[in-house]
Amino acid sequence: MSYNETRFRVRYAETDQMGIVYHANYLIWMELGRVEYCRARGLRYRDIEEQDGIRMAVVEAKCRFVSPARYDDEIIVRTEIEKAHQRLVRFGYRILHAEENRLLAEGTTTHLFLDRNMRPARLPEKYLSCFGIVR
């Protein structure tokens, strides 16, 4: 499977009193990685929602913390699709310290495709390739 890398620096506001990145920020970074993964494949979240009424509801999120990140560290979020079909997609993430190539955290998010009425829906054909779904 192919992956996408998103790079940024830890902002001061993302750290706690100990100077370490607060744990909830890793989920935000996963979202950043997921959005940029899709964008790199020609899909904007806004378009799929506005044009087709499809939502990607998070139904499960997991994160295993390995090593701390600190203010001003350069971070890489490596995002890939682990599993996908027309009703569900699971993204995998490896969050790395860019300079040291040190694993900071790894995790997954699983998303169910929903329609405008928040009912399970099938992903429209035009988006299948973005998610690596072959019919």
- Enzyme catalytic residues: 16
Structure tokens, 107 = 């995790």
Q: How far is residue 128's CA from residue 41's CA, in Å, rounded to a whole number? A: 11
